[in-house]
Structure 1
Amino acid sequence: MSLITLTTDFGTKDHFVGAVKGAIYSELPDARIVDITHEITPFSITETAYILKNSYKSFPDKSIHIVGVDAELSPENKHIAILLDNHYFICPDNGIISMIASEINPTQIVEINIHDRVESSFPVLDVFVQVACFIARGGSLGVIGKEIQTYKKMTEIQPKINSNETQIIGSVIYIDNYGNVISNISEKLFTEIGKGRNHRVIARRYTFDKINNKYNDIVNYEIDENRNHYDGERLAIFNSAGFLEIAIYRSNLNSVGGASSLLGLDYRDTVMVEFY
């Protein structure tokens, strides 16, 4: 039996997550369901794209990923099912898939067409669950919809490069649980454009002359016995997902604070790398 994951902005206070799981178990009593997260900022497509890109690869091939963010059906927001990198994604066609598909071309995309039989204001429950269970039973994507060749792309997920390749101009796409600020500038792009040149990172009025490999690279273990005084120091790092992050060392939102609050950085703010 395939594994089914859930990524939504439903939170856990209301009945929505429980209802979706109940519907899956009603169709597939032996199903295996994993919650990736239900704490997406409501309707945040870029946040969803970042989390999906950095979580789906940890699951087995043929896993089925239900994505319930900004999922209400409309003429501009159709529902699609995608086979990509040997994983299935059932989601709205609102750009959520852009970050994954920017590096790996989808094998197959279909526009889901079971809406003629299902009228719903809760499509994750009434449509996405049906599609996921059909695929889990071995069903073909071609049966649930007509094949299409394109999907909606989100240009804001991709950083820009100036004409003489001396700047990568990115933006904040995610703020994590520690208040660390993640940009859309990947280490791969940094390496390709930088070509080993000197560089600095600029975020608002703050400049970073070094990009660290680990958070504790800022600590001098040879001469500092009291390492607590590094707590709260700001740094730039390529995080475990391979994206440029502005962080506060050993940040704690209840005491020290995070990079977002301490440096005044928020979603869509500019983060730039300059080469010289």
Structure 2
Amino acid sequence: MPIITLTTDFGIKDHFVGAVKGAIYSELPDANIVDITHQISPFNITETAYILRNAYKSFPDGTIHIVGVDSELSKENKHLAIELDNQYFVCPDNGLISMIASEVNPTKIVEINIHNHINSSFPVLDVFVKAASHIARGGSLNVIGKEIQELKKLVEIQPKTNQDKSIIKGGVIYIDNYGNIITNINQKLFTTIGKGRSFTITAGRYKFTEVFKSYNGIVDYNIPEEKRQYDGEKLAIFNSAGFLEIAIYKSNLETVGGASTLLGLKYRDTIIVEFEDVVKPEFIPINQ
């Protein structure tokens, strides 16, 4: 039996998550259900896309991902079943898949047309579970929907560059459990535009001129341990997902605080990378 994952903004206080799991087990008694998260900020599509993009790749082929964020059916928000990267996504057409599919094109997209789903006030329970169960049994996507070619795009989450490629203008797309700030500027774009040039990253009122390879890259291990004072230091890093992150070394939201609070930055705030004209001597272009 394939794994079915759940990603929602339902939280864990109410009955919603339990009801969805119960409905899955009613359809598939031997189902394997995995919670990716139910703590998405309400209706936050970008946050959903970031978390799901970085989680789904760890799952085996054939996994089915139910996504319940901003899932109410409307003329502008269809219900979709998608085959992508040898896995399946049952989700609303609100743009979240465009971030996941930015590097891998979907194999097939269908607009779900399960009978009576238009009248549902709880589509994750009444529609997505039935669609996911059909797929789990080996059913064809064409049975539950009409094939379409286009997905809604989240254009506003893409970073922008100026005409002479000296500036990348990005933004905050996610704040993690440590209060660290994740931007929409990925390492590939940074390297391609930067071409080894020196740079300044402006995040709020703070500036960074170095991006570390790890959180402890900021630590000088030549200094005796008892004299090191790095806790609470601000740093920039490319995280495990390949995105530029502004972090606090060993942040503690109850004591030191996280990057979001200390830098005064929140979701959608602007992050600027400005490159200088001089190329570092040690830079070797990727295509050489």
Using the size of structure 2 for normalisation, the TM-score is: 0.94
Counterpart for residue 103 of structure 2: 103
Q: Cα RMSD over matched residues?
A: 1.0
Displacement of 1:228 in angstroms is 5.5
Distance in 1 (alpha carbons) for counterparts of 2:152 and 2:120: 23
Distance in 1 (alpha carbons) for counterparts of 2:133 and 2:227: 52
Distance change in 2, residues 1:229/1:18 (3 Å): same
Displacement of 1:198 in angstroms is 1.2
The answer on 1:255 being equivalent to 2:255 is yes
The answer on 1:185 being equivalent to 2:189 is no
Aligned amino acid, residue 139 of structure 1: G
Distance in 1 (alpha carbons) for counterparts of 2:132 and 2:118: 15
Counterpart for residue 74 of structure 2: 74
Q: What are the Cα deviations for residues 148-180 of structure 1, in whole angstroms up to 9, with x where unaligned?
A: 000100012210011111111100000000000
Equivalent runs, 1:104-253 vs 2, <5 Å: 104-116=104-116, 119-226=119-226, 229-253=229-253
Does the 8 Å CA contact 1:118/1:126 hold for their aligned counterparts? no
The answer on 1:25 being equivalent to 2:17 is no
Does the 8 Å CA contact 1:23/1:129 hold for their aligned counterparts? yes
Counterpart for residue 59 of structure 1: 59
Counterpart for residue 285 of structure 2: none
Counterpart for residue 44 of structure 1: 44
Aligned amino acid, residue 71 of structure 2: A
Aligned amino acid, residue 221 of structure 1: Y
| Secondary structure in structure 2 of the residue aligned to 1:152 | coil
Q: What are the Cα deviations for residues 5-59 of structure 1, in whole angstroms up to 9, with x where unaligned?
A: 0000000001100000000001101110000000000000000000011000000
| Secondary structure in structure 2 of the residue aligned to 1:55 | helix
Distance change in 2, residues 1:140/1:263 (3 Å): same
Unaligned runs of 5+ in 1: none
| Secondary structure in structure 2 of the residue aligned to 1:179 | coil
Q: How high is the sequence identity, in percent, across the aligned residues?
A: 72
Distance in 2 (alpha carbons) for counterparts of 1:67 and 1:224: 49
Displacement of 1:118 in angstroms is 6.1
Distance in 1 (alpha carbons) for counterparts of 2:224 and 2:230: 10
Unaligned runs of 5+ in 2: 277-288
Distance in 2 (alpha carbons) for counterparts of 1:223 and 1:117: 64
| Secondary structure in structure 2 of the residue aligned to 1:226 | helix
Aligned amino acid, residue 204 of structure 1: G
The number of residue pairs the alignment matches comes to 276
Aligned amino acid, residue 193 of structure 2: I
- 153-162 or 49-58: bigger deviation: 153-162
| Secondary structure in structure 2 of the residue aligned to 1:42 | coil
Q: What are the Cα deviations for residues 234-268 of structure 1, in whole angstroms up to 9, with x where unaligned?
A: 00000111100000110000110000001101000
Distance change in 2, residues 1:258/1:146 (3 Å): same
Displacement of 1:107 in angstroms is 0.7
Using the size of structure 1 for normalisation, the TM-score is: 0.98
Displacement of 1:102 in angstroms is 1.1
Does the 8 Å CA contact 1:236/1:246 hold for their aligned counterparts? yes
Distance in 2 (alpha carbons) for counterparts of 1:163 and 1:229: 42
